[in-house]
């Protein structure tokens, strides 16, 4: 039996296809057991396992469909069809396989199952970027709780989320899943999400640990990062969330950091994660991540998902030859047993396959509205009573984008388009425009299908890749001046949606950052004609990442960034346009004027072939920004760069308007024990209800000479819904230790003594109050690990 299993594991590595497409598993049945509290006698289990059993147990069960019918080991392929993987079952010992499924915008499993008329749709919640843009940790926790209920009721045990890599560059293809360019926003949002999901007694997997900041060649690229940037930026968000919310699992990333695969790095996975941060859960690889199984075990990466034959061989051989202590393997086996023990499946939870999808649709609708960012508003929004008839432009208005592609996608039952959202909100939309667009979109889709079919004849793999990679959206339909004039004569307002889609495996191109010619013309022409007719124009952004705005933002009367707002998107947008809800989202990243203004753009894979990863076949090359990337901007990411080097931006970090206005007053600071408490009173001084986000930055003494950013976010808070004239006093706390910067020479977090400024802001460039307080010198030594092996020309102030 053991031998058969091994053969099948070896068979798995033959084909290298993207796995998430290949999870269409047939349903055999659902496991359910009595709901009892059960513990696992780890000693006993361990005593019964051979070396081979242990090696199987730590490498998962393979991936259904990954290499043909023969590829899947064990009987677990059909527990929850469409889930990304499972742990390895030890049936004779009563240890079930527990189910691991993506995340993060909802649970990703198959919606339908062969021979089963029931459906298993999951709620498509807003993308991570939108959730973070709410700056409302309570709300993020509620969303997490709703997602966790679907995880539990559909029989999964661990959600492979949240994804919290830093948005190092605007073009990273997976930025839509991520939260921010700032580690405090990323860490706090992740902590809230994890708390929410895990309230259901299911697990999470915070990912991708760490520095997975580009998709190009993601399985082989080496991130060259200074120890300081690692500690202050790329690890910090993980540190915050892991210490605060204790995710059941951590997923290591694909990339190398300073020459070592993260999953093979003892410094990262044991020294920092466990010894320094006290993490006690299970660590797993990203799917097929890393190479050397024995090294991964030695490093403390407990579980290798979904398992590769060479990893099995490497572990067994290394133990036999004494290179890997069996005790190291046992320790990982035990950590996986811990995970199994706390899983709903082991605890015999009887899942219903009937989560409350209706309630969750309401959760996604309101949470999405709260993360939308009002970028400009010249008395165009909210729509007044006179607005009844809306002229709807832009293909995406009719074909709304709920989220990004890849493992972060969700198999949703429906997506409310902007067209439907407007109708649901009681607005009239021109039927003529609707028909024109529907025909145009259908023709574009047919042309695309034809193109793919032609491609498939020549290169099957290229066609398959093209079919699931984020597609190019059709060029915008343009109208003649006469057509526009006629449309404007019957409409009360024009709404133009600009869409963008991105996803896993592929970084965005520069052309995707900029508006294309048809989009520029559409905005220009609609604005010209409607303004002449005395009508206003609103631009809506249905996007997953930052785009260029500086060249066109003067044209429309209002701009609303709706992000990719999940399956209720159209309804959420209309809740904001109509004024039912006042927008209160703020940007968690900077919007540069030009893409090249971000310093990291000098060291980022620009416009590379998407197949470079597969073409490389795991070989480490030496092409700059593909095989390795020098993080020369050091800690100067996002606003830390733009604000410290006075580089103009289109929209600053932390920016977002409201339908109302807020006045900040009575800002005070108090020093308590080892912390600073800053309080400020926020008053709604406008005519609408609304919520306000208050951001607290610190500015270190002599920051320029000390090569520190002019300001760094340390805390934030959001008011409750304030009626006109109402006030709320918010209190924000910063621990004295959080004033520290990382000193590489001392290998320590160091707080320099002196006077710190505490800046209370409505954005990073809209500081409303400046307070000061003294700090005493402090130093906390940590391990001198993860040192770059190369010299870099690091940016300094
Ligand atoms: C992604 C992970 C995901 C995993 C399982 C990988 O390609 O990077 O984020 O959780 O697949 O689907």
The per-residue pLDDT for range 638-670, each reduced to its tens digit, is: 999 999 999 999 999 999 999 999 999 999 999
Q: Which stretch of 372-386, 481-495, 515-529, 604-618 has the lowest confidence by average pLDDT?
A: 604-618
Q: In whole angstroms, give the CA distance from residue 187 to residue 18.
A: 29
pLDDT at 20: 37
pLDDT of residue 467: 65
Give pLDDT tens digits for 207-265: 999 999 999 999 999 999 999 999 999 999 999 999 999 999 999 999 999 999 999 99
Q: What mean pLDDT is predicted for residues 79-90?
A: 92
For the sheet with 662-672, list strands across it. Answer: 662-672, 675-684, 727-735
Cβ–ligand 1 distance for 218 under 6 Å, the answer no
Mutate to test the pocket of ligand 1, among 151, 286, 403 (most ligand atoms within 8 A of CB): 286
**287 CA to middle of ligand 1, Å?**
6
Question: Which residue has the CA at smallest separation from atom 9 of ligand 1?
Answer: 407
Task: List the structure tokens of 595.
Answer: 């893409």
Q: Are 664 and 694 in contact (CB under 8 A)?
A: yes
pLDDT of residue 35 exceeding 80, the answer is: no
How many beta carbons lie within 10 A of that of residue 323, not counting itself?
12
Q: Tell me, what's the pLDDT at 466?
A: 72
Q: Which of 206-215, 371-380, 445-454, 664-673 has the lowest mean pLDDT?
A: 445-454
What's the CA gap between 187 and 242, in Å, rounded? 8
CB 311 within 8 A of CB 59: yes
Q: What share of the chain is helix, strand, coil (3-state, %, to 5)?
A: 35, 20, 45
The H or E element spanning position 676 is strand 675-684
Ligand 1: nearest atom to the Cα of 160: 10
Q: What is the mean pLDDT of residues 438-451?
A: 90
Instruction: Find the range with the poorest average confidence among 3-17, 214-228, 291-305, 541-555.
Output: 3-17
Cβ of residue 20 lying under 6 Å from some atom of ligand 1: yes
Atom of ligand 1 nearest to the CA of 407: 12
In this predicted structure, what is the pLDDT of residue 67?
A: 37
State the closest ligand 1 atom to the C-alpha of 207, by its place in the atom list counted from 1: 9
Whole-number pLDDT of residue 619: 66
pLDDT tens sequence across 386-435? 999 999 999 999 999 999 998 999 999 999 999 999 999 999 998 999 99
Please tell me the distance from the alpha carbon of residue 495 to that of residue 422, in angstroms, as a whole number.
11
Residue 530, pLDDT above cutoff 70: yes
**287 within 8 A of 19, measured Cβ to Cβ:** yes
713 has pLDDT over 80: yes
| Active site (annotated) includes residue 613 | no
Q: Give per-residue pLDDT as tens, 759-790.
A: 999 999 999 999 999 999 999 999 999 999 99
- pLDDT, greater one: 31 or 338: 338
The answer to whether residues 202 and 147 touch, using CB atoms and an 8 Å cutoff, is no
In this prediction, residues 586-604 reach a mean pLDDT of 97
What pLDDT band is residue 470 in, cutting at 50, 70 and 90?
A: low
pLDDT band at 615 (very low <50, low <70, confident <90, very high): low
Rg (CA), the chain: 26
For helices 460-468 and 431-458, what crossing angle results, to 10°? 150
Mean of pLDDT values over 151-163: 98
CA of 589 to the centre of ligand 1 (A): 24
For the CA of 100, the closest atom of ligand 1 is: 5
Q: Name the range with the highest mean pLDDT among 9-18, 79-88, 194-203.
A: 194-203
Considering only residues 158 and 611, tell me which one the structure prediction assigns the higher pLDDT. Answer: 158
Residue whose C-alpha is closest to residue 373's, from 144, 547, 192: 547
Q: Where are the alpha helices (DSSP H) in 154-210?
A: 183-198
Q: What angle do CA 193, 196, 197 make, to 5 degrees?
A: 85
CB atoms within 10 A of CB 517: 11
Residue with CA at minimum distance from ligand 1 atom 7: 287
**Per-residue confidence at 75, pLDDT binned at 50, 70, 90?**
very low
Give the relative orientation of helices 481-490 and 517-532 as an angle to the nearest 10 degrees. Answer: 50
DSSP 387-455: --EEEEESHHHHS---S-BSTT----S----HHHHHHHTT-EE-HHHHHHHHHHHHHHHHHHHHHHHHH
Instruction: Find out whether the beta carbon of 23 lies less than 6 Å from any atom of ligand 1.
Output: no
Confirm whether pTM is higher than 0.75: yes
Ligand 1 atom 4: residue of nearest CA = 287
- d(C-alpha 697, C-alpha 71), whole Å: 52
Q: Is the pLDDT of residue 16 over 90?
A: no
User: Residue 665's pLDDT is what?
Assistant: 98
d(CA 214, CA 256): 12
Handedness of CA 227, 240, 628, 601 (dihedral sign): negative
Question: Residue 13 has what pLDDT?
Answer: 27
* pLDDT for the residue numbered 498: 97
Closest C-alpha to 212, from 250, 244, 185? 250
Among 25, 65, 84, the mutation site with the greatest number of ligand 1 atoms within 8 A of its Cβ is 84
Please return the burial class of 454, using the count of CB atoms within 10 Å of its CB with bins 0-12, 13-18 and 19+: exposed
Higher pLDDT, 11 or 519: 519
C-beta of 160 in contact with ligand 1 (< 6 A): yes
- Exactly one of 267, 286, 420, 627 is catalytic; name it: 286
* Any atom of ligand 1 within 6 Å of the Cβ of 100: no
The whole-number pLDDT of residue 618 equals 59
Asked if 236 contacts 267 with a C-beta cutoff of 8 angstroms, the reply is no
Q: Say if residues 125 and 415 touch (Cβ distance below 8 Å).
A: no
Least confidently predicted of 398-412, 570-584, 656-670, 675-689: 398-412
What is the residue-averaged pLDDT of the chain? 91
- The residues, any chain, with a CB within 8 Å of residue 462's CB and separated by 6 or more, are 455, 611
pLDDT of residue 613: 61
Whether 164 lines ligand 1, by a CB cut-off of 6 Å, is no
**Residue range 542-556: mean pLDDT, rounded:** 98
Own/partner contacts of 66-71, CB < 8 Å, gap of 24 or more, are: 66/12, 66/15, 66/17, 66/19, 66/22, 66/306, 67/11, 67/12, 67/13, 67/14, 67/15, 68/11, 68/14, 68/15, 70/8, 70/11, 71/8, 71/11, 71/12
Q: What distance in angstroms lies between residue 572's CA and the mean position of ligand 1's atoms?
A: 28
Tokens of 100: 């691991």
């Amino acid at each position: 039996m053991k031998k058969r299993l091994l053969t099948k594991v070896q068979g798995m590595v033959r084909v290298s296809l993207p796995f998430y497409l290949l999870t269409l598993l047939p349903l055999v049945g659902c496991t359910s057991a009595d709901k009892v509290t059960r513990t696992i006698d780890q000693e006993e289990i361990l005593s019964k396992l051979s070396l081979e059993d242990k090696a199987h147990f730590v490498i998962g069960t393979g991936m259904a469909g990954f290499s043909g019918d023969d590829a899947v080991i064990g009987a677990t392929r059909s527990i929850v069809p469409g889930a990304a993987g499972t742990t390895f079952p030890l049936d004779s010992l009563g240890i079930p396989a527990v189910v691991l499924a993506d995340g993060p915008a909802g649970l990703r499993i198959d919606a339908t199952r062969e021979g089963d008329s029931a459906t298993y749709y999951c709620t498509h919640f807003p993308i991570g970027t939108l959730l973070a843009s709410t700056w409302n940790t309570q709300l993020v926790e509620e969303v997490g709780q709703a997602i966790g209920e679907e995880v539990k009721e559909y029989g999964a045990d661990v959600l492979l989320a949240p994804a919290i890599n830093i948005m190092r560059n605007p073009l990273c293809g997976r930025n839509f899943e991520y939260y921010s360019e700032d580690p405090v926003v990323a860490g706090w949002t992740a902590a809230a999400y994890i708390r929410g999901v895990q309230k259901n007694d299911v697990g999470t997997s915070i990912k991708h640990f760490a520095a997975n900041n580009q998709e190009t060649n993601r399985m082989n690229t080496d991130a060259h990062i200074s120890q300081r940037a690692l500690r202050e930026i790329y690890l910090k968000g993980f540190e915050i969330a892991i210490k605060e919310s204790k995710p059941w699992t951590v997923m290591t990333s694909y990339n190398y950091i300073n020459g070592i695969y993260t999953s093979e790095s003892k410094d990262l996975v044991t020294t920092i994660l466990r010894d320094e941060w006290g993490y006690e859960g299970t660590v797993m690889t990203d799917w097929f991540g890393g190479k050397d199984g024995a090294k991964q075990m030695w490093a403390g990466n407990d579980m290798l998902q979904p398992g590769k034959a060479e990893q099995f061989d490497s572990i067994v051989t290394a133990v036999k030859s004494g290179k890997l202590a069996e005790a190291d393997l046992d320790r990982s086996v035990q950590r996986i047993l811990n995970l199994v023990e706390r899983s709903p499946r082991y605890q015999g939870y009887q899942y219903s396959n009937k989560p409350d999808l209706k309630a969750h649709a309401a959760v996604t609708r309101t949470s999405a509205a709260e993360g939308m960012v009002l970028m400009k508003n010249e008395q165009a929004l909210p729509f007044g009573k006179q607005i009844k008839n809306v002229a709807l432009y832009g293909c995406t208005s009719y074909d709304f984008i709920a989220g990004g592609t890849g493992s972060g996608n969700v198999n949703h039952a429906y997506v409310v388009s902007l067209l439907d959202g407007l109708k649901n909100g009681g607005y009239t939309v021109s039927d003529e425009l609707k028909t024109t667009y529907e025909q145009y979109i259908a023709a574009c889709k047919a042309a695309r299908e034809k193109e793919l079919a032609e491609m498939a004849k020549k290169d099957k793999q290229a066609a398959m890749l093209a079919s699931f990679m984020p597609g190019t959206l059709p060029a915008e339909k343009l109208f003649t001046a006469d057509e526009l004039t006629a449309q404007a004569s019957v409409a009360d307002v024009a709404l133009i949606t600009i869409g963008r889609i991105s996803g896993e495996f592929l970084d965005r191109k520069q052309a995707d950052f900029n508006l294309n010619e048809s989009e520029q013309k559409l905005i220009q022409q609609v604005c010209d004609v409607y303004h002449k007719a005395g009508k206003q124009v609103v631009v809506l952004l249905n996007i997953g990442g930052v785009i260029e705005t500086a060249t066109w933002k003067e044209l429309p009367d209002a701009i609303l960034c709706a992000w990719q707002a999940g399956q209720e998107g159209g309804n959420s947008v209309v809740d904001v346009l109509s004024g039912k809800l006042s927008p209160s989202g703020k940007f968690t990243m900077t919007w540069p004027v030009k893409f090249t203004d971000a310093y990291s753009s000098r060291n980022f894979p620009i416009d590379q072939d998407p197949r470079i990863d597969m073409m490389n076949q795991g070989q480490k090359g030496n092409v700059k920004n593909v095989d390795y990337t020098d993080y020369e901007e050091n800690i100067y990411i996002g606003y830390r760069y733009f604000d410290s080097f006075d580089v103009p931006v289109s929209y600053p970090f932390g920016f977002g308007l409201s339908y109302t206005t807020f006045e900040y007053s009575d800002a005070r600071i108090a020093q308590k024990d080892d912390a600073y408490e800053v309080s400020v009173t926020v008053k709604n001084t406008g005519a609408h209800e609304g919520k306000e986000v208050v951001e607290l930055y610190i500015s270190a003494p002599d920051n320029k000479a000390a090569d520190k950013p002019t300001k760094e976010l340390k805390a934030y808070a959001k008011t409750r819904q304030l009626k006109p004239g109402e006030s709320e006093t918010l209190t924000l706390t910063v621990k004295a230790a959080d004033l520290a910067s990382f000193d590489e020479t001392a290998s320590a977090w160091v707080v320099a003594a002196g006077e710190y400024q505490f800046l209370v802001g409505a954005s990073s460039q809209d500081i409303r109050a400046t307070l000061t307080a003294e700090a005493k010198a402090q130093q906390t030594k940590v391990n001198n690990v993860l040192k770059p092996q190369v010299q870099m020309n690091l940016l300094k102030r």
